A = this chain, B = another copy of it.
Amino acid sequence: MNIRDIAARCHVSVATVSRVLNEHPSVSPKTREKVLRVMREEGYTPNAFARGLGLDSMRMVGIVCADVANPFYSRAVALLEGSLRAKGFDTLLCCSGTQLKDKQKCLTLLLEKRVDAIMLVGSAFCEQTDNRHIQRAAEQLPLFLINAQLPLENVTCVLCDEREAIHDLVMQMAPQCKIPLYLHDMTKWAWAGECKLQGFLDGLHDAHLLHDADRVQAVENGVLSAQQCVEGLLDRGISFDGVIASEDLLAVGALKALTKHGIELPIVGFNNSMLCDCTMPSLSSMDNMLHALCPMAVDMLLRRLAGETQPRVVSVQAQLVQRETYRAS
């Protein structure tokens, strides 16, 4: 059932049917009613892509993340999808994994689908070496990086300043934590991970705290790994008086280790995930403001599609959400 069938059944031209579809004003009410009625009767559904072909816009945005099963990404995807849908855009979702080759393939697929824009979620898309695939995509359409930064022409970055977040946190905790511990997720190199780590180091420096080899612990991204790490430190008598983690999951591991040893210390995680309310005591955490970043990115996209020029980088400040494991004094 296509526009021609409807036109025939109504004894009008396809143009008239098309006008009805697009709510064009210059159709007589009578004709409009007839066309609408027949459409309803026949259960007609217009073909969005046939339309898109001519209009050169599929009203579709490609969202890419490494793995939408990861709560951080799924949150971002949910927020982006919602904002986009509200503006009449559909979401083509690609979980790319972390292999460069697969990420490249995702971008190619999206370009073939002629999406109106691409949003890459997470700093997994900042390669250390080769970012030409991103550059190439950005030459064809608006490309946004969510919570990541890349100095490429035509790439817009909307992110939370995580270096600053951790830096300020160290400073803020300094009165209570003279020898803080930083749990660094080393599962996979990531730009964001490096930023946070740098924030911690800068914080140590600016707060005039001791920086020795034990201050930063590299662990795998999992509760158990963090827990074992912290227990190991305790067993070896390595002292610390507070924990900052690059991920809530790691903070949970630290909390478990400390609780097991009957020790209570300030702990702050990162991402402000649902885990924070699940521990005892509940976990304080840095919120990277996805709920603000994502709608902002969509707004910027719309303006860009409308022809307005937009800033290349927008960065917002993280916010500490205080729960039981740490409160600023």
Contacts and interface: CB of A to CB of B under 8 A. Distances in A.
**Copies of this chain held together in the complex:** 2
A264 interface: no
A69 interface: yes
Interface stretch (A30-38, A84-92, A163-171): A84-92
Question: What secondary structure prevails in chain A residues at the interface with B?
Answer: helix
Contacts of A58: 49
Contacts of A129: none
A279 B279 contact: yes
A47 interface: yes
Contacts of A259: 280
Nearest to A224: B277
A252 B280 CA distance: 10
A112 B92 CA distance: 15
B92 A45 contact: no
A114 B43 contact: no
A228 to B, nearest CB: 13
A49 B113 contact: yes
Interface in A82-106: 82, 85, 90-95
Contacts of A3: none
Interface in A60-96: 60, 63, 67-69, 71, 74-75, 77-79, 81-82, 85, 90-95
11 contacts: A49-B53, A60-B92, A60-B113, A90-B109, A91-B93, A249-B274, A260-B280, A275-B275, A275-B278, A279-B279, A279-B280
